[in-house]
């Protein structure tokens, strides 16, 4: 290669956590593709050989050994004079384990370690890794490459050190999970480092689902003037060639792909589909089964499942009881027909009546209440899990974030299942994404074009249909009100008084806050689901189940606060439960 040109291949790929042999084979295939493209060097995402995040698996010495062996095999293969490799793995050295990124070239290995270990939100890297020292660049065939790893560019120290020690460009491997607005956030951080250092930057991200997280790819490159010069697709694998040339002003990219990526609601929907697809595929389920009720939540979950897996791998089951309306029966059938899935109807009256008869001696003299309503949900959950056990399909759970927030769900009933693609979508977002899907679908989706969620499902009032003439709003505020209150409580961690100041009724906000805390024990037992917002239930938000704090929405004046501090008296909520 000429020292004034670098042909860099970006391997935006989807590893499987723990499948080191499979990830090694994928790296080998990508190197062969990069060689075909004429690349000098091929770059992989953060911790590619292990998969990301491998969590406590990284602490197992046997796992560390397997990753190191794979790296050494790949390194030996680079003695053939073909493309070098930049690849990530856990690396044990003198009793410490590091998040490492290795340059493999000419049969040798040069390693640098991640410095800034994220320990917030979904990240727990300080639990796993030791921080590396501030690095200098690595030398690749006469070019000095700065390699800040993921979080290393979110503050300026590592990039500053690389620039001061002679780096000519910045190559940044990432395992950066999706949440709404993340694309712009990444770009702004990268642009800040480019501006400070005067160096061009390549931001390479992983793609694929891993438990709750979705890595959306969308890798990009910036010239030293912050111009966007490369953009890889979102939510899809790619091995793409970028051609860099060194002139008087440094390195610039002249040849690279420039894809258009989804944003906003389209990005959210695509992330939900990718997360569901990879959870099913990587866990080797043959398909999925879900209850199709005629409501909006199960309809969009069915659409996402078909988009992820194809209609032949999706089984929808209507489980009617005496409170199931003819309208719901028709809507569910119409939705199943539009999606082209297998659709069965299994009435649950015999199961519910059997439970009631069995419990009658214990319940004698007590009025009917929510207990009997929940028997319907639990009968449905048992039937779906039985279908799953018999045929191997995973049950898709269909509760939205609004319901999961306030406990409007039944343990061992509609909460049964293996994975929930809409767990992090509020109810009004479910409606919006359902309407979107009726005139758009993401690239690579396997479902049909056109209307797949009947208009009547979008138009009618939501109901659990567990009693006569029931609607969700019998128990909950209108969903537009509820969702805004919940965003304030969950994503923004606002005081009750701050949410009231946005125009909400104090007693309504206090009621929602109380329900949010009381439902914590249910959420601990809920299926994992795709992270879409900045703060999801699960890895992001960790609240105690035993918790008597309640924010009463009272705001003391500044002098009162000062007096309380002086007297050592904290301002706390009441302890009702």
Mind telling me the catalytic residues?
A: 46, 114, 150
Residue 187: CB atoms within 10 Å: 16
List beta partners, residue 5: 245
Question: What's the chain's Rg over C-alpha atoms?
Answer: 27
Whether residue 99 contacts residue 129, with contact meaning beta carbons closer than 8 Å, is answered with: yes
- Distance between CA 393 and CA 163 in Å, rounded? 53
Closest by alpha carbon to 1, among 166, 200, 246? Answer: 246
**How far apart are the two ends of the chain, measured CA to CA in Å?**
70
- Retrieve residue 314's tokens: 């999706």
Residues with Cβ within 8 Å of residue 86, at least 6 apart in sequence: 41, 42, 43, 44, 101, 102, 103, 104, 147, 171, 173
- Distance between CA 425 and CA 427 in Å, rounded? 6
- Distance between CA 443 and CA 267 in Å, rounded? 11
Whether residue 164 contacts residue 137, with contact meaning beta carbons closer than 8 Å, is answered with: no
Residues with Cβ within 8 Å of residue 62, at least 6 apart in sequence: none
Q: Hey, CA dihedral for 260, 263, 265, 268, is it positive or negative?
A: positive
- Distance between CA 421 and CA 409 in Å, rounded? 16
- Retrieve residue 542's tokens: 């960790």
């Amino acid at each position: 290669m000429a020292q004034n040109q670098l042909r860099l291949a970006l391997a935006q790929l989807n590893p499987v956590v723990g499948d080191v042999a499979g990830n090694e084979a994928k790296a080998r295939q990508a190197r062969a593709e990069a060689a075909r493209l004429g690349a000098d060097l091929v770059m992989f995402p953060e911790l590619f050989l292990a998969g990301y995040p491998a969590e406590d698996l990284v602490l197992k010495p046997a796992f560390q050994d397997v990753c190191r062996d794979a790296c050494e095999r790949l390194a030996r293969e680079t003695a053939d004079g073909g493309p070098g490799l930049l690849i990530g793995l856990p690396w044990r050295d003198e009793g410490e384990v590091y998040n490492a990124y290795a340059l493999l070239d000419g049969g040798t290995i040069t390693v640098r370690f991640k410095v800034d270990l994220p320990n917030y939100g979904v990240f727990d890297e300080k639990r796993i890794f030791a921080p590396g020292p501030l690095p200098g660049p690595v030398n690749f065939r006469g070019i000095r490459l700065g390699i800040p790893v993921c979080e290393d560019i979110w503050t300026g120290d590592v990039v500053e050190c690389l620039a001061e020690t002679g780096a000519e460009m910045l190559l940044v491997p990432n395992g950066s999970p999706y949440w709404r607005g993340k694309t712009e956030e990444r770009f702004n951080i990268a642009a800040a480092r480019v501006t400070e250092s005067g160096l061009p930057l390549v931001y390479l991200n992983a793609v694929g689902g891993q438990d709750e997280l979705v890595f959306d790819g969308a890798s990009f490159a910036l010239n030293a003037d912050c111009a966007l010069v490369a953009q890889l697709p979102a939510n899809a694998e790619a091995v793409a060639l970028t051609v860099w040339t060194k002139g008087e002003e440094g390195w610039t990219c002249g040849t690279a792909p420039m894809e258009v990526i989804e944003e906003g609601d389209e990005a959210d929907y695509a992330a939900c589909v990718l997360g569901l697809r990879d959870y099913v595929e990587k866990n080797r389920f043959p398909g999925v089964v879900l209850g199709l009720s005629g409501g909006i939540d199960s309809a969009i979950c069915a659409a996402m499942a078909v988009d992820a897996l194809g209609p032949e791998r999706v089984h929808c089951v209507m489980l009617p009881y005496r409170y199931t309306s003819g309208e719901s029966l028709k809507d569910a059938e119409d939705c199943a027909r539009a999606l082209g899935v297998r659709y069965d109807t299994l009435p649950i009256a015999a199961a519910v009546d059997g439970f009631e008869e069995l419990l009658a001696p214990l319940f004698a003299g007590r009025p009917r209440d929510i207990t009997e309503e929940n028997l319907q949900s639990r009968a449905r959950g048992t039937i779906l899990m039985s279908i799953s056990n018999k045929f191997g399909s995973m049950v898709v759970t269909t509760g939205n974030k609004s319901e999961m927030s306030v406990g409007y769900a039944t343990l061992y009933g509609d909460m049964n299942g293996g994975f929930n693609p809409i767990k992090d979508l509020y109810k009004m977002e479910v409606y919006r994404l359902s309407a979107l899907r009726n005139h758009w679908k993401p690239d690579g989706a396997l479902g049909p074009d056109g209307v797949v969620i009947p208009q009547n499902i979008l138009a009618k009032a939501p109901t659990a249909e567990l009693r006569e003439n029931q609607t969700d709003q019998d128990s909950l505020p209108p969903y537009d009100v509820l969702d805004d209150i919940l965003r304030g409580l969950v994503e923004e961690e606002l005081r009750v008084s701050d949410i009231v100041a946005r125009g909400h009724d104090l007693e309504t906000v206090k009621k929602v806050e109380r329900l949010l805390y009381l439902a914590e024990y249910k959420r601990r037992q809920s299926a994992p689901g795709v992270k879409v917002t900045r703060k999801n239930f699960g890895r992001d938000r960790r609240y105690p189940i035993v918790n008597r704090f309640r924010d009463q929405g009272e705001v003391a004046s500044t002098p009162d606060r000062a007096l309380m501090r002086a007297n050592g008296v904290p301002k706390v909520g009441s302890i009702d439960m």
